[in-house]
Structure 1
């Protein structure tokens, strides 16, 4: 959600939720001003794009300032708006997990799996300082596969068997498991209970265990 949409949403919420008549009128004016300015700037086809953006940004900034003042004047309303925002974020995150199923067959690099979104956030939280090692060991990667759950395996270029990694993803529980192999030794990181291991990952680990 961009700043303009956020400011307009906040102003509109305040318009219907303000506790006093004075706050209600001020909120309605803030919302109307932001929306009217946006419509005017977008409707003027002769206005240069840079000017449109500048005017829209100014309208959003003004609405945001008035919205912030209303929150300061009415803490209960601020809590309500915060709850709405948190609910929206949770819904967006849940949708991202669900959409992972549609990415089966795609390579992680092509869909930014480790760079942005809920999986990237969860990986950074789970691995911490080991995240660069994981990325290094996933440079040569399989596509996103599915065997009851989603998985990816990979290795550092020219170092398969020594520097490898795998990732298991369970969209239903929003849990993940990472197997990080450094110098031929496996260490497992989990965000929750152990996950089912696909046959391909079991084969990978069996080959690792059979190495001299």
Structure 2
């Protein structure tokens, strides 16, 4: 489901809504509840994307592809410079920005193991966007909320 909040003054495009309206289920071939998938992600906490493949394969990568679709390439450019994969409570997350352009292009991904839902936020040319699984109601981790707040001037959760 494609969601842009009115709070940030963005309009929801009908074409984007139709294209992503089918994002109600987990992608084929991915078992996000499988203990092995969560164990692999847990083992990568503290690692950077260039050292571990959690953004290219596994439960986090599959969910990102499912939610972002054709927007994945642009989103990934906003993760050129990142922190490590982190975890707060049951939420795995990573933040980053486009090299030399963090004030205009940044990104965050959060995957809650408890609710098995993902939230994605990115700043594309200064415009904030949010994509999330239906029912994703968990709060952004503190670091993500701070990054979003700094980018848009108000708290995000």
Calculate the TM-score normalised by the size of structure 2: 0.71
Q: Is the CA contact 2:33–2:116 (under 8 Å) kept in the aligned structure 1?
A: no
Q: Cα offset for 1:91?
A: 8.7
Which residue in the other structure is 1:204 paired with? 147
Alignment of 1:155-166 (within 5 A): 155-166=97-108
Alpha-carbon distance in 2 for matches of 1:101, 1:153: 17
Q: Is the CA contact 1:97–1:174 (under 8 Å) kept in the aligned structure 2?
A: no
Alpha-carbon distance in 2 for matches of 1:91, 1:124: 14
Matched, 1:186 2:128: yes
Whichever structure has more strand as a proportion of its residues is 2
Matched, 1:113 2:54: yes
Superposition RMSD on alpha carbons, in Å? 2.4
Q: Deviations over 1:70-121 (max 9, x none)?
A: xxxxxxxxxxxxxxxx9xx749944112332222111122111121122211
Q: Cα offset for 1:141?
A: 0.6
Whichever structure has more helix as a proportion of its residues is 1
Calculate the TM-score normalised by the size of structure 1: 0.53
Alpha-carbon distance in 2 for matches of 1:91, 1:131: 19
Moved over 3 A (4+): 89-94
Q: Is the CA contact 2:31–2:37 (under 8 Å) kept in the aligned structure 1?
A: no
Q: Cα offset for 1:152?
A: 0.4
Q: How many residues align?
A: 125
Alpha-carbon distance in 1 for matches of 2:145, 2:45: 19
Q: Cα offset for 1:137?
A: 0.3
Question: Structure 1 91/146 Cα, relative in aligned 2: closer, same or farther at 3 Å?
Answer: closer
Alpha-carbon distance in 2 for matches of 1:101, 1:185: 32
